[in-house]
């Protein structure tokens, strides 16, 4: 099987090449550019394409993939909100993903963001480097004995619940399907979670229902001085309303690994550009906000698991033994 791998960076190549040694008959060509209406034709002559979390898999791209005979899309990520599933269904294409490569990798980043923004590490790091040893403005809040609210307790949310319990926090959660293994978690309505949380961490997928889950009305329900963390998908938070909330001093801190405008930024070096009109620039202007560039998945363990499952998905497809858990269905 010949796979064209879009948007490849050095850590992808390293982990896939290492894992490829265990998979005979699979050939990967790495392509640095991402898939788009302009670059989709490069896939002609291949059996499958491999794409990532922000790859453009919209209708025009799927149309063209179908025209050039691609019937398998391998997503090397968990989320699939970037894929036009109506189109893939229409063409009978198979879309496979990596559902749970390392939930702890993402949950640990969520806690890292919460702790960093709470204890102002982004400021103290810079200060000490410049021989400024003042502590003014660096006061944080103990998480111990506070309430952590987790929205979405699937694999990553469950890992976050366990981490928060380890910090001695009371853990409350909202999910339509409570996770029975989390016997220490108190499930309640979303509204109650919003009202009671000192630390609020989002771990539900982006769907029509969850888009802008965090908006001016839900922000108004939150406790003052809440720490909000989003490592799930940018679209869960209505950025304009978040900015209003930050301005009105609702939040003690905000940690975002994902945000609505990230599409053009993620994994790109734009250091010479002036981001004049961007919401990213506005978010970055707040002293109590930390933004990272969708790096929740970026640990050695997660990368190894992603490569393994993606290659296994390719093999299972070829052998007709697809794992239905990995199958993306509309
Ligand atoms: P999962 O499928 O195991 O869990 C999602 C949970 O959310 C399920 O329990 C589901 O019932 C719940 N849910 C669905 N709709 C909900 C709603 N309206 N309100 C509350 N809960 C709802 O998914 P997993 O693996 O835990 O991933 C969660 C999200 O994390 C993914 O959708 C993805 O967007 C994001 N993610 C981010 C990464 C990063 O690098 N920052 C890496 C991997 C995933």
What are the pLDDT digits (tens) for 125-136? 999 999 999 999
Distance CA 279, CA 295 (A): 19
The token duo for 70 is: 């691609």
Residues with a CB atom less than 6 Å from ligand 1: 78-79, 100, 103, 106, 151-157, 174-177, 203-206, 209-210, 231-233, 257-258, 294, 296-297
CA of 204 to the centre of ligand 1 (A): 4
Helix crossing, 103-118 with 121-129: angle to 10°? 60
Q: Do 103-291 and 2-101+299-319 fall under one CATH topology?
A: yes
What are the pLDDT digits (tens) for 222-238? 999 999 999 999 999 99
CATH code for residues 103-291:
3.40.50.720
Residue closest to 297 by CA, chosen among 157, 108, 151: 108
Cα of first residue to Cα of last residue in the chain, in angstroms, is 25
The token duo for 59 is: 């209708």
Q: Is the pLDDT of residue 274 over 80?
A: no
| Count of other CB atoms within 10 angstroms of residue 200 | 26
Query: Superfamily for 2-101+299-319?
Result: NAD(P)-binding Rossmann-like Domain (3.40.50.720)
Q: Which atom of ligand 1 is nearest to the CA of 100?
A: 25
Instruction: Give the model's confidence band at 277: pLDDT under 50 very low, under 70 low, under 90 confident, else very high.
Output: low
Do 98 and 77 meet the contact criterion of CB atoms below 8 Å apart? yes
What are the pLDDT digits (tens) for 201-230? 999 999 999 999 999 999 999 999 999 999
Tell me the C-alpha to C-alpha distance, in Å, between residue 283 and each of 132, 147, 212: 25, 26, 17
Distance CA 149, CA 202 (A): 9
Domain ranges across the chain: 2-101+299-319, 103-291
Report yes or no on whether pTM surpasses 0.85: yes
């Amino acid at each position: 099987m010949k796979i064209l791998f879009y948007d490849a960076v050095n850590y992808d190549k390293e982990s896939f090449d290492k894992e490829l040694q265990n998979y005979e008959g699979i050939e990967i060509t790495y392509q640095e550019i991402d898939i788009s209406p302009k670059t989709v034709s490069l896939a002609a002559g291949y059996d499958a394409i491999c794409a990532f979390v922000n790859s453009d898999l919209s209708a025009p791209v799927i149309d063209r993939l179908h025209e050039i005979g691609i019937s398998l899309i391998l997503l090397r990520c968990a989320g699939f909100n970037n894929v036009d599933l109506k189109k893939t269904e229409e063409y009978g294409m198979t879309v496979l993903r990596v559902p749970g490569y390392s939930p702890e990798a993402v949950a640990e980043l969520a806690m890292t963001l919460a702790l960093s923004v709470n204890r102002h590490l982004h400021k103290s790091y810079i200060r000490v480097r410049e021989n400024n040893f003042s502590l003014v403005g660096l006061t944080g809040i103990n998480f111990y004995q506070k309430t952590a609210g987790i929205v979405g307790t699937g694999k990553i949310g469950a890992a976050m619940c366990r981490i928060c319990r380890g910090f001695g926090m009371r853990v409350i959660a909202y999910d339509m399907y409570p996770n029975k293994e989390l016997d220490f978690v108190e499930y309640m309505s979303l509204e109650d979670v919003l009202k009671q949380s000192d630390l609020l961490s989002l771990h539900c997928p982006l769907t029509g229902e969850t888009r802008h889950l965090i908006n001016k009305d839900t922000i108004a329900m939150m406790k003052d001085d809440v720490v909000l963390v989003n490592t799930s998908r940018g679209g869960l938070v209505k950025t304009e309303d978040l900015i209003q909330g930050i301005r009105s001093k609702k939040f003690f801190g905000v940690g975002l690994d994902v945000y609505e405008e990230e599409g053009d930024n993620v994994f790109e070096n734009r250091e010479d550009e002036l981001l004049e009109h961007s919401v990213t620039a506005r978010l970055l202007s707040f002293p109590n906000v930390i933004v990272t560039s969708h790096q929740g998945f970026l640990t050695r363990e997660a990368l190894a698991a992603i490569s393994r499952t993606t290659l296994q998905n390719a093999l299972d497809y070829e052998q007709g033994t697809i794992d239905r858990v990995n199958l993306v269905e509309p």
